[in-house]
Structure 1
Amino acid sequence: MLIPKSITCLKNYTKEQFIKDFISGIIVAIIALPLSIALAIASGVSPEKGLYTAIIGGFIVSLLGGSRVQIGGPTAAFVVIVYGIIQKFGIEGLFVSTIMAGIFLVIMGLLKFGSLIKYIPSSITTGFTSGIAVVLLSTEVKDFFGLQMKTVPSHFVEKLISYFNNFHTINFQSLFISLLTLGIIILWSRINKKIPGTFIAIIIVTILAMVLKLNVTTIESQFGHLSSSLPHPSLPKVNFTMINELMLPALTIAILGSVESLLSAVVSDGMIGGSHRSNMELIAQGFANIFSAIFGGIPVTGAIARTAANVKNGGRTPVAGMIHALVLLIIMLLFMPYVKLIPMASLASVLVMIAYNMGDWEVFRTLFKSPKSDSLVFIVTFFLTIFLDLVVAIGVGVVLASFLFMRKMGEITEIKYILDDDGDKDANEFIENVTLHEHISIYEISGPFFFGAANKFVSAIREMGAPTKVLIIKMSKVPFMDATAYHSFEMLHNICKKHHTKLIILKIQNQPLEMLKKYGFVDMIGETNFCGAVDEAIERANVILSEHQSSIEHTQPSNINGKN
């Protein structure tokens, strides 16, 4: 249903719920403030662009979204891809790719792709999120230790080498701010669950840095003047070459955004006992990304941590998300002169905590207990995210997971030859105590009959040699059949024609039957050779053998007085 939750949730809206949404919106805005700034800086853009994203994108996600409690904004998942796009195409390239991603998301929602996202294996999502966490940690080493470096390489290995070569330039005052921020965040969570520790930590260390006049880099000293108002909407300059080059990054943003936002919606459904509208959520995420880029922001998606905080603080309708966006706007308009005094080291500590919470480190402990295929997909996705990029990691992860799944399905499918009742106990059950003629043989296919299993069938055909006069193929355990499997059926039919063998199909299910009809195979072997029961198939086979015997006798020369 393509109706925003904001419409249906407000039908029976009460004053009591508004108060809860209002309080929750303020608390989530306080949580989102340092996160939005820190994530913008980690992505390679100026701090206010993170606020533009949370304000514009967050408001649209709540207004048009398919979840009651979803909070939209910048997230750590996009840091790697955004940083890579800016390094290669600049800020204009980022705006173009974000708008393209938004268009893709709207199309995905209209085509009702929301339910398809659940087919992406968890081994891929945990692989790239844990990989992103490691990359995010690596980007914060410079500010965490206050290293005196002009530029930080984009590639992971080069980055580590550069840090090692410049580690002697460590600023111990910055390190003190970083460790103090971490300590306050960790300890505050044990004291008070309502007010976020990141907000308290940043206020304390900013005041401390000012009072003690510490020699640390601040937002102002690194970025200069920061705008305290929303920019005018504008479309980026674009050309066909740029669109072509940004197609893959834009698709990656769209897929990553859809996975994270729908995952967040599923998590929040479990917390409130609700049910989100996945396709409407994709459309909302699409428009949020389009307008975020038009107003100078970065990619938007559903933020799991902020959404969970919204639920825990009493938010139950999209009003809470819209209030969160409006409160952020007020903070930006009134308090930006104070925001620019925040030490970069404290923001680095905030991102270190985000990275730590983002990574699914428990997976590494259970890695060797998981199925080998899942472990392989996780490891490949994890390391490709770190050492190459997210686009390659997701692409290879999906392809690898697909191939492993198809191999597993191919292994499940069996092609079994059923002997006569003198040779196999299972055959007695199968033929239901009907004695098979020596010129009748039965094969059974079990499992999905697709290209991954067709080779098994072809091998069984070749091993069969010259078939008997009647060949019965039992297909009661075949739920699905594809074109490759059909072509192997054609091969079998040609072999049967060559050896004057009649083919009977037994207990076929609807999908394979409809497919054989479309290809004309039913007409090819005759509808009478499709049987629904074993005794019917045996009876049909005996009729065929009788007709065959009659034709032989009819074509032989007549005997005269018993002599040739």
Structure 2
Amino acid sequence: MADLPTPGAPISAPTPPRSHWFRPRIVAALQGYNRQLFAQDVGAGITVGVVALPLAMAFAIASGLKPEAGLFTAIIAGLLIAVLGGSRVQIGGPAGAFIVIVYGIVERYGLANLIIATAMSGVMQFAMGFFKAGTLIRFIPISVVIGFTNGIAVLIAVSQIKEFLGLQVQNMPADFFGILSTLHHALPSLNLNAAALALACLLLIVVWQLAIPRLERRYHWAKHLLLVPGSVVALVLATLCVALLQLPVETIGSRFGGIPSALPALQWPEFSWSTARFLFIPATTLALLGSIESLLCARVADGMIGERHDPNQELMAQGIANFVTPFFGGMPATGTIARTVTNIKSGANSPIAGVVHAMTLLLVVLLAAPLARNIPLAAMAAILMFVAWNMGEWREFVHLRQYRVPYRITLLSVFFLTVVFDLTVAVEVGLVAACLTFIYRISSLTRSEPVTLADPGVQAHRLYGALFFGAVKLIEELQDHLPQRALVLDLKNLIYIDSSGADTLLDLAHACAKAHVRLIVCGLAHQPMDIARRCGLVHLVGESQLFPDLASGLNAAAPEPGGDTSPAS
């Protein structure tokens, strides 16, 4: 049954046919578009633009870049993802998940190589979408996703302690223990004004988040306050305090000299294949993490609007955005859950809302850039602290006892490796651990049950599950204990055989022939029958030794009355 839209949601166009290899969702969304839907999209887009303003700058600063890098990314990538994407409500832009990776790339390879790595990740994402690999991202286990998401949240929070406390640090290292050591040595430079301002902003954001929904249930007018996020309120009030009270805290103006009131020109970094070789792993990490983040966000949006997105089209749009944006001063971009949810709750109906969100940020850059000089970095740190807290799935740690040991080991190992070592290493180890766990689980579901027979010269076994490389030991055990006269295998409940399983069955057939034991195979059908014919098992055993069920196979294995019961000659 097709997904039905939620009550009150507009009826959307069906998913485009597969014949269109590149068909942005905006094409279908604009069919039947009218003035009322446009008005709702404009309101939603402006609201999301206001929400994205502080987050875009905060993510850029935390990544070791200038604040305008986040704004340019939200404008350019946000526009491209909205126009070319496979979801009608997803909002693209810089995300907190990229902070640790981008900061590490800038520290190790420099800003020019970040441009190259981001563009390389865009090419990889476009290729994944072009070759229909969008659905494969969903096969990454949830334990791996939660592990590195929580790890990234911890690293974001730790990286913001410097700005939160106003510490004087010249160069902040990228590794976890290096950050802790540097913060420890910088504690004497604590700025009480910055710490008090950051704490006040964090408390205001938390109170705003908790109090406004309760006020809405009691007072009808309070619902309008939900359109203004607590991060924007905290940022405006903190900026006014710094400007009016002349607080001695570091601001965007004092560190970066402000934000330019124009979009940047095209910049082309020096490129060499030797450099690209070293950037392949960071670029792959950016591509995979961006793809996972974007498609998870799109799935959340699907559940809210009752429509299924096109994952391959979304990946191609993300790839184009990440290829274009870095050459105009941007950073890696992906789908963002918080801004997408805000977009939906604000009444968005089509990608036009994402376009309006980008245009809103563009107007802010063109008209209000000088006002950003007084934004305190302590307030930005408080916003990111709150983002890190909301980003993590902390309840999973509390409920770990409810899950199996392999799930716990995978989640915790990915989490600790993300925090202590590197996100790339964590994801690689997590995927390997998840694969090994999956192989073990599937192999444990494959079993062989002996059938009790009165004739000691005949053995019969029923096989269940999948006969793959992790379960071939079952056949090897049968080969080691062959009967005197006949071996009957019931494969009716065997749903899959891989090449390793087929080779093991061939070895068993050869062993039976060498030992003069008759091999009878029952119940072969579908994929097991197909692989048995292609690998030569049917030819080796003989069509006459194949039977539709176990009963007929056992009848064929029974000796004739008065016949010879000795092994076949």
Structure 1-normalised TM-score? Answer: 0.92
Deviations, residues 140-185 of structure 1 (Å, cap 9, x unaligned): 0110000112121211112112211221210000011101211221
Partner of 1:527: 543
1:449 aligns with 2:467: yes
Alpha-carbon contact 1:506-1:530 (below 8 Å) kept:
yes
Alpha-carbon contact 1:148-1:169 (below 8 Å) kept:
yes
Alpha-carbon contact 1:467-1:496 (below 8 Å) kept:
no
- Taking the aligned partners of 1:198 and 1:518, their CA distance within structure 2 comes to 63
Partner of 2:42: 22
Alpha-carbon contact 1:257-1:301 (below 8 Å) kept:
yes
Partner of 2:492: 476
Alpha-carbon contact 2:175-2:420 (below 8 Å) kept:
yes
- Taking the aligned partners of 1:149 and 1:255, their CA distance within structure 2 comes to 32
1:315 positional shift: 0.7
Partner of 2:131: 111
- Which residue of 57, 61, 79 corresponds with 1:59? 79
Q: Comparing 533-542 with 71-80, which one deviates more in the overlay? A: 533-542
Q: Which runs of 5+ in 1 are unaligned?
A: 423-436, 556-564
Distance 1:222 1:547, change over 3 A: farther
Alpha-carbon contact 1:415-1:460 (below 8 Å) kept:
no
- Which residue of 374, 384, 397 corresponds with 1:341? 374
Q: Secondary structure at the match of 1:479?
A: strand
- Taking the aligned partners of 1:374 and 1:236, their CA distance within structure 2 comes to 43
1:150 aligns with 2:170: yes
1:373 positional shift: 1.0
Deviations, residues 46-72 of structure 1 (Å, cap 9, x unaligned): 110001110110001110111010000
- Which residue of 183, 188, 195 corresponds with 2:208? 188
Partner of 1:269: 302
Q: Secondary structure at the match of 2:374?
A: coil
- Partner AA of 2:494 in structure 1: V
1:92 positional shift: 1.4
Q: Secondary structure at the match of 2:467?
A: coil
Partner of 2:24: 4
1:234 positional shift: 3.3
1:510 aligns with 2:526: yes
Partner of 2:117: 97
1:509 positional shift: 2.9
Distance 1:552 1:334, change over 3 A: closer
Q: Secondary structure at the match of 1:153?
A: coil
Alpha-carbon contact 2:267-2:328 (below 8 Å) kept:
yes
- Taking the aligned partners of 1:169 and 1:154, their CA distance within structure 2 comes to 21
Give % identity: 37
Partner of 2:8: none
- Which residue of 315, 318, 337 corresponds with 1:285? 318
Deviations, residues 467-498 of structure 1 (Å, cap 9, x unaligned): 23111111111111112112221221222112
Partner of 1:538: 554
- Taking the aligned partners of 2:307 and 2:422, their CA distance within structure 1 comes to 36
- Taking the aligned partners of 1:537 and 1:242, their CA distance within structure 2 comes to 65
Distance 1:550 1:205, change over 3 A: closer
Alpha-carbon contact 1:467-1:499 (below 8 Å) kept:
no
Deviations, residues 335-393 of structure 1 (Å, cap 9, x unaligned): 11111220000000010000010011101110122111111110000000001111111
Alpha-carbon contact 1:233-1:294 (below 8 Å) kept:
yes
Partner of 2:144: 124
- Which residue of 458, 463, 480 corresponds with 1:440? 458
- Partner AA of 1:297 in structure 2: G
1:39 aligns with 2:72: no
- Taking the aligned partners of 2:526 and 2:269, their CA distance within structure 1 comes to 53
Partner of 1:426: none
Q: Comparing 520-529 with 67-76, which one deviates more in the overlay? A: 520-529
- Which residue of 496, 504, 508 corresponds with 1:488? 504
- Which residue of 218, 221, 231 corresponds with 2:251? 218
Q: How does 1:63-462 map to 2 (within 5 A)?
A: 63-189=83-209, 190-191=211-212, 192-420=225-453, 437-462=455-480
- Taking the aligned partners of 2:168 and 2:567, their CA distance within structure 1 comes to 97
- Partner AA of 1:445 in structure 2: L
Q: Comparing 509-518 with 182-191, which one deviates more in the overlay? A: 182-191
- Taking the aligned partners of 1:404 and 1:112, their CA distance within structure 2 comes to 26
Alpha-carbon contact 2:484-2:566 (below 8 Å) kept:
no
Deviations, residues 229-264 of structure 1 (Å, cap 9, x unaligned): 111223332111111111111111111111111111
Deviations, residues 508-563 of structure 1 (Å, cap 9, x unaligned): 231121112111111111122121122321343348x799959999x9xxxxxxxx
Q: Comparing 410-419 with 71-80, which one deviates more in the overlay? A: 410-419
Q: Comparing 159-168 with 12-21, which one deviates more in the overlay? A: 159-168
Q: Secondary structure at the match of 2:266?
A: coil
Alpha-carbon contact 2:76-2:325 (below 8 Å) kept:
yes
Q: Secondary structure at the match of 1:452?
A: coil
- Partner AA of 2:526 in structure 1: N
- Taking the aligned partners of 2:126 and 2:563, their CA distance within structure 1 comes to 63
Q: How many residues align?
A: 536
- Taking the aligned partners of 1:410 and 1:235, their CA distance within structure 2 comes to 52
Partner of 1:497: 513
- Taking the aligned partners of 1:385 and 1:456, their CA distance within structure 2 comes to 38
Distance 1:468 1:232, change over 3 A: same
- Partner AA of 1:299 in structure 2: P
Q: Which runs of 5+ in 2 are unaligned?
A: 1-17, 213-224
- Taking the aligned partners of 1:223 and 1:315, their CA distance within structure 2 comes to 35
- Taking the aligned partners of 2:145 and 2:567, their CA distance within structure 1 comes to 66
- Partner AA of 2:541 in structure 1: I
Q: Secondary structure at the match of 1:477?
A: strand
- Partner AA of 2:525 in structure 1: Q
Q: Secondary structure at the match of 2:417?
A: helix
Distance 1:35 1:541, change over 3 A: same
- Taking the aligned partners of 1:494 and 1:66, their CA distance within structure 2 comes to 53
- Taking the aligned partners of 1:534 and 1:159, their CA distance within structure 2 comes to 66
Q: Secondary structure at the match of 2:170?
A: coil
Alpha-carbon contact 1:81-1:249 (below 8 Å) kept:
yes
Partner of 1:562: none
Alpha-carbon contact 2:509-2:540 (below 8 Å) kept:
no
Deviations, residues 30-58 of structure 1 (Å, cap 9, x unaligned): 00000000000111111100011101100
- Partner AA of 1:226 in structure 2: I
- Taking the aligned partners of 1:492 and 1:81, their CA distance within structure 2 comes to 51
Deviations, residues 186-213 of structure 1 (Å, cap 9, x unaligned): 2333242111111111111111111111
Distance 1:106 1:547, change over 3 A: farther
- Taking the aligned partners of 1:86 and 1:359, their CA distance within structure 2 comes to 25
